[in-house]
Structure 1
């Protein structure tokens, strides 16, 4: 079976991380996955070693790709694709993945979806299913399939190059909806009260907020407390998590909204507790008090307390580390999550033939 996944942005983010893992598993099950993007924002290194990756903007080039005879096509939050599929008269089954976690943006991404008559909607969480249900009524069934990861790749490991005795935690991206200003507020409060924490910022090299973030960070005189790594290859992330765990640190998220949250399961799989706001899909992924803590949105002091509760109690840290790994193995392995996708594809393509 050959399938094509269409998405606008080739980024180093959760959507592509999820599909990278899924494509590797699908290949083992005899399903070849190709990817079509309209813009590369630095994510090519993440995908090119697992699948054929096309980046095309011109309609003619897109149409040529769509005519390659795919058994099924999956459209991820890309309304342009509905027009393309109609242009070429694609007659195979179409699945729509709805991953945008904000209602107005999701509505925009679904404009015209009725013209392609999707066989199935896929969402990565029950939060996202509730959101999508507001917009699509009974056009097609909505199935929840969590993102999965390779738990043999993301696993606890010993790290010998922790730079100092300070604790470490990281926030993933400097984009507006990841709420980096909340991150800076939390760091500001932490640095006033203690000197044993070093904050690592991961990603953001292609963010439109890059310069603004850097300016505000320096204006607040937080240079001694923050290390920023604008680009970290996906393949190196287990090593980053190992360094955080070895230091006794945690992963901090200040995001305003998530339809799932790949970095959370990556961290937990590596034995790193997670601190995040209690919003959107976060409570589905993070078990409050067991694999990390959920704080009230916009509550800076609550986030600081959660971080301190983790890093100041070694016994609790070890318990959360083990519980996080166990939760991923029970719910978020690629074998468990992608097999559901395999069953769905085989059923839909089988019906078509």
Structure 2
């Protein structure tokens, strides 16, 4: 089987991390995955050695890709232009739409024109996202929830001798690390992170924040300006580019310090950094919004706080870093939750079943 995944943005975020993991797993089971992107925002290093990647907005080139590569199925991720491309190419194979955008108005925009192509299924990464999508589509096309998965042999608690200690980011020996991982934009809400760090700076001397990523984020400059203006460069260290394959080592350094990861996001349809962190035995602090309570078990694999609540975020960080006995338990339960719910074998097998279902139905329709 050969499939094509179309998404407009080649980022280092959760959508591509999820598809990277799936493509590796699919390949082992005889399914070739190819990717079509419109714009590279720093994610090419994640995908280029995993699967063929087309990076173009040229409609003639896209038409050739769709008509000459004989795909058994095509998956469109939040890309409204793709529906026109598929209609013009007269693609007759099965189409799946992945609806990943958590903001309802943006999701509505991304679905514009999908009725041209009559998808066999919608796939979403959480029950929360299914509820959001259900508001926008009232047709009989089924909506299936498949969580993102990861390889727990890659994201795992590393032994001290395995950790790349001399590579950035480097741990200050006397600090507990609290890491924000991801884009710098309005939805990811880095402004709340700065407010939280500002509060912690007034109260503690044993905590250091890391910001991992953001090299090509739309609000990179605004973040940098605010970070310096608020005089937070001592408590917040920023690492705009960390290669994906180094992330298990980043999580290992956080765990070794007795720290945690933090999210300040306003909305998530899933959140790959949560499961990466937990797989590596690192507890998560995050707001209790959208899909997050499905992923992070409050009090068991981390702690949730009320949306936009700076004091609440700080207090949950303190609960984790101040109790080493509790930390060990959170770390153990976090790893177990990922193995039980978010391992790539579990999540990708269901995806393979769906691909086989829709391709069989397509062959039946043709006959």
TM-score range, shorter chain: over 0.9
The C-alpha deviation readout for 1:32-81, integer Å capped at 9, x for no partner, is: 00000000111000001110000011100111111111000000000000
Identify which range, 32-41 or 168-177, moves more after superposition: 168-177
Task: Please state if 1:322 is matched with 2:332.
Answer: yes
Partner of 2:129: 128
User: Does the 8 Å contact 1:94/1:117 carry over to 2?
Assistant: yes
Distance, in Å, in 2 between the alignment partners of 1:105 and 1:117 is 21
The C-alpha deviation readout for 1:121-170, integer Å capped at 9, x for no partner, is: 00000000000000011241000000000000000013463431200011
Distance, in Å, in 2 between the alignment partners of 1:180 and 1:157 is 28
Equivalent residue of 2:338, what SS? Answer: helix
TM-score relative to the length of structure 2: 0.95
Matches within 5 A, 1:68-217: 68-159=69-160, 161=165, 162-172=171-181, 173-217=183-227
Distance, in Å, in 1 between the alignment partners of 2:195 and 2:82 is 40
Distance, in Å, in 1 between the alignment partners of 2:103 and 2:211 is 24
Aligned pair partner of 2:245 in 206, 218, 235: 235
Q: CA-atom RMSD, angstroms? A: 0.8
TM-score relative to the length of structure 1: 0.99
Name stretches of at least 5 consecutive residues in structure 2 with no aligned partner. Answer: 166-170
User: Does the 8 Å contact 1:17/1:262 carry over to 2?
Assistant: yes
Aligned pair partner of 1:251 in 252, 258, 261: 261
Name stretches of at least 5 consecutive residues in structure 1 with no aligned partner. Answer: none
Equivalent residue of 1:316, what SS? Answer: helix
User: Does the 8 Å contact 1:241/1:270 carry over to 2?
Assistant: yes
Partner of 1:339: 349
Question: How many residues are paired up?
Answer: 353
Partner of 2:61: 61
Distance, in Å, in 2 between the alignment partners of 1:84 and 1:276 is 39
Distance, in Å, in 2 between the alignment partners of 1:148 and 1:211 is 32
Distance, in Å, in 1 between the alignment partners of 2:104 and 2:218 is 22
Identify which range, 141-150 or 165-174, moves more after superposition: 165-174
Distance, in Å, in 1 between the alignment partners of 2:172 and 2:32 is 42
User: Does the 8 Å contact 1:114/1:139 carry over to 2?
Assistant: no
Q: State the shift of 1:177 in Å.
A: 0.9
Identify which range, 180-189 or 151-160, moves more after superposition: 151-160
Q: State the shift of 1:26 in Å.
A: 0.6
Equivalent residue of 1:335, what SS? Answer: helix
Matches within 5 A, 1:261-340: 261-340=271-350
